[in-house]
Structure 1
Amino acid sequence: MIQKSFSDSSEQVLLVEDSKTFGRIMKRRLENDLHVSVTWKESKADYLAALNQDDARFDAAVLDVNLPDAPNGEIIDLVLSRGVPSIILTGSYDPNLRERLWEKRIADYIPKDSVQCIDNAVNMTRRILRNANTTCLVVDDSRTTLHYIETLLCAQGYKVLTAANGKEALAALNDHQDIRLLLVDCTMQEMDGATLAQEVRKIYSPDKLAIVGVSNADVPSTSIRFLKSGANDYIKKPFQIEEFYCRISLNIDMVLQFETIRTLAYTDFLAGVCNRRRLFELAEATLAEAGRQRLPVAVAMLDIDHFKRINDTHGHDVGDMTLRHLAGLLKSHFATPDGSRHVGRIGGEEFCVVATGAAAQVMPEACEALRHAVEESK
């Protein structure tokens, strides 16, 4: 039997579980907690049939080790062969099985020994889906180590970049602004990890980029020097895979939590554009840079006519919908990825746009296009 959700989510999770009760609970939790589309199969044959029919693509998988037609974990190899990060569920804790599973490069191994296992599987699935938008840079002058760590990170769904030395790492950081974790060997020849960490910290603070050192050096001062050079953490080789994953997750969680805090602090909670404080900060920096480069500047103030009448006639919920709609039009007409225009809500029904350079020169046309879009809005 194959059961699919009717969620509109673009993220797809595969669940293979022969227990109807456990499968039903797990499917419901994944859909309700993560808002994903879940495809549930109860056997290896069901899985293969679904692939033949749908050529399905999955972003993560939750797999039971023992199935009626695949009692020895055969489903795991099938799913992993398609590059799907996979969480493995098993009815009992077996150290030998655990080691064999980690060798297959699974994402996690969760015994079904308590109700907590469902929470653990849901949380791990959430992490894997999030990892698809999280970039890690691995720096090591050993190709073998570089490939090994890259494989481990890919098993949990991270986007991974690699560099063979410090110079390549600095170039990668310059080219890829979305890197959230730098995993670096401490004892490289051309530029050691501590020196690289010092160079990186001149550009990125610890709350924007985590640096984790990896080394097999037995000298205690290696870790101390690395941490004092600006690193967030240090892992001694050889390491346990589970410890590696825990440390990586903790450091990325810290960076993403700071990112969330900054977003909440800078964004107007209702309109989804810059709040007053953030707009003033951006405007000050933008205008200063425009002055140095002698660029044209434009500032547009926008106000919703008779907004009080909307609230009084239709209620504040409709007023909020109006603000969100206008903010969406503002972002579509003015927001630019290069930072040449900034959109913010000053307060109430008042918005502001600050533009420089070529974006400032076409501000009258952009404002007229916005006015027309508002006129056409119902």
Structure 2
Amino acid sequence: MDFLGVSGMHYSGVSLKGSRVIVAEDSAVFTSMIKQRMKELLEIDVEICRDFEEMQKANETSDEEILLAISNMNLPGAEKGEALNYLVDVGIPTIVFTGTLQDATRDKLLANQIVDYILKDSVFAVDMLVEAACRFLTNHHHHVLIVDDSQTARALLTTRLKRYNFKVSVADSGQKALEILKANRDINLVITDYNMPDIDGFELTRRIRSHIGSNEIRIIGVSSSTDRLLSARFLKAGGNDFMLRPFIDEEFYCRVNQNLDTLAQMKFMLERKKRA
């Protein structure tokens, strides 16, 4: 499959046909819309579970792995959120599709490693849901390198990225990062801290850019510093984006996606130009 998917995302050579996805939703309107769009855009025949019992059966009566669950907050037979607790307990990655979401509930979902949440608050909600599903199911094709001398910072970023199904490598220094990049040509995103003892984030970015352009690898700089000029210095060194810690989960994932989408579009245009 070679296509421009939802919201212009480009996936070359990626087929999602046969991916096992369940939709736990009791609304006939939404299940019909989701089933149709997932089939049209991703060639996936989703399994519909209209209550908690059907969802349990879908998981427990088949040996085929469920790659992703799309679930309402509450289902018949699980009116107090038991369905989400079950999905988390059995380790099924889950996107929540819900009509309302309070701040406290949002914090609880992210603490439980829910992949994402989509609100049923617009006519575009189903397409946003399909986009989120498509990203999760294809993120393993993206290899991300985290560069940070702090073990805690590396662990937090690794957890975030693996929640979204990315392939992740880590480096505790700039020199180690360069060695990993040389040995792993499939890395297409580097997330690097600024303040490191051997090679700081600026110098690492310059060294990467001396060999690899923005059409092959995107670089996001990160820092806990309050120096507002850091972002400008990262961009001037060849970086593509910059974020301040502590991250907001939704913004972090959005910025990662935007950089990977830009990279994919650039590669797509270059490939099309070569074929012309």
TM-score by length of 2: 0.88
Q: Give the distance between the partners of 1:132 and 1:82, measured in 2 at CA.
A: 21
1:234 matches 2:242 = yes
Q: Give the distance between the partners of 1:110 and 1:253, measured in 2 at CA.
A: 20
Q: Give the distance between the partners of 1:76 and 1:10, measured in 2 at CA.
A: 24
Q: What displacement does 1:249 show?
A: 0.8
Q: What displacement does 1:256 show?
A: 0.9
Q: Give the distance between the partners of 1:155 and 1:110, measured in 2 at CA.
A: 16
Q: What is the aligned counterpart of 1:57 among 65, 77, 80?
A: 65
Q: What displacement does 1:136 show?
A: 0.9
Q: What are the superposed Cα offsets for residues 101-144 of structure 1, whole Å, 9 maximum, x if unpaired?
A: 12222222112123321111011112222212111111111111
1:84-99 mapped onto 2 (5 Å cutoff): 84-99=92-107
Unaligned runs of 5+ in 1: 1-7, 269-378
Equivalent pairs counted in the alignment come to 262
1:1-378 mapped onto 2 (5 Å cutoff): 9-267=17-275
Contact 1:63/1:89 (8 A) holds in 2: yes
Q: Percent identity?
A: 33
Instruction: Say which SS state the counterpart of residue 61 (structure 2) adopts.
Output: helix
Q: What displacement does 1:17 show?
A: 0.9
Q: Give the distance between the partners of 1:219 and 1:108, measured in 2 at CA.
A: 31
Code of the aligned partner of 2:266: F
Contact 1:60/1:84 (8 A) holds in 2: yes
Code of the aligned partner of 1:163: A
Contact 2:35/2:45 (8 A) holds in 1: no
Moved more, 211-220 or 69-78: 69-78
Code of the aligned partner of 2:67: D
Contact 1:106/1:156 (8 A) holds in 2: no
Name the CA shift for 1:175/1:74 in 2 (closer, same or farther; >3 Å).
Answer: farther
Structure of larger gyration radius: 1
Choose between structure 1 and 2 for higher RCO, CA contacts under 8 A separated by at least 6 residues.
2
Q: Give the distance between the partners of 1:70 and 1:198, measured in 2 at CA.
A: 54
Q: Give the distance between the partners of 1:94 and 1:102, measured in 2 at CA.
A: 13
Name the CA shift for 1:48/1:24 in 2 (closer, same or farther; >3 Å).
Answer: same
Code of the aligned partner of 1:87: I
Contact 1:134/1:159 (8 A) holds in 2: yes
Task: Point out 4+ residue stretches in structure 1 off by more than 6 angstroms.
Answer: none
Code of the aligned partner of 1:215: S
Q: Give the distance between the partners of 1:39 and 1:80, measured in 2 at CA.
A: 19
Instruction: Say which SS state the counterpart of residue 46 (structure 2) adopts.
Output: strand
Code of the aligned partner of 2:230: T
Q: What displacement does 1:163 show?
A: 1.4
Contact 1:50/1:56 (8 A) holds in 2: no
Contact 2:59/2:66 (8 A) holds in 1: no
Contact 2:17/2:42 (8 A) holds in 1: no
Q: What are the superposed Cα offsets for residues 203-261 of structure 1, whole Å, 9 maximum, x if unpaired?
A: 11012100001100112232222221110000001121111111111111111111111
Code of the aligned partner of 2:261: D
Q: Give the distance between the partners of 2:243 and 2:194, measured in 1 at CA.
A: 10
Code of the aligned partner of 2:124: Q
Moved more, 58-67 or 198-207: 58-67
Contact 2:71/2:84 (8 A) holds in 1: yes
Q: Give the distance between the partners of 2:190 and 2:96, measured in 1 at CA.
A: 28
Name the CA shift for 1:66/1:190 in 2 (closer, same or farther; >3 Å).
Answer: same
Unaligned runs of 5+ in 2: 1-15
Name the CA shift for 1:175/1:72 in 2 (closer, same or farther; >3 Å).
Answer: farther
Instruction: Say which SS state the counterpart of residue 66 (structure 1) adopts.
Output: coil
**Aligned twin of 1:355:** none
Contact 2:118/2:128 (8 A) holds in 1: yes
Contact 1:85/1:128 (8 A) holds in 2: no
Contact 2:148/2:154 (8 A) holds in 1: yes
Moved more, 158-167 or 244-253: 158-167
Q: Give the distance between the partners of 2:72 and 2:150, measured in 1 at CA.
A: 36
Q: What are the superposed Cα offsets for residues 62-113 of structure 1, whole Å, 9 maximum, x if unpaired?
A: 1111111222333223334454432111121322211211222222211212
Contact 1:63/1:86 (8 A) holds in 2: yes
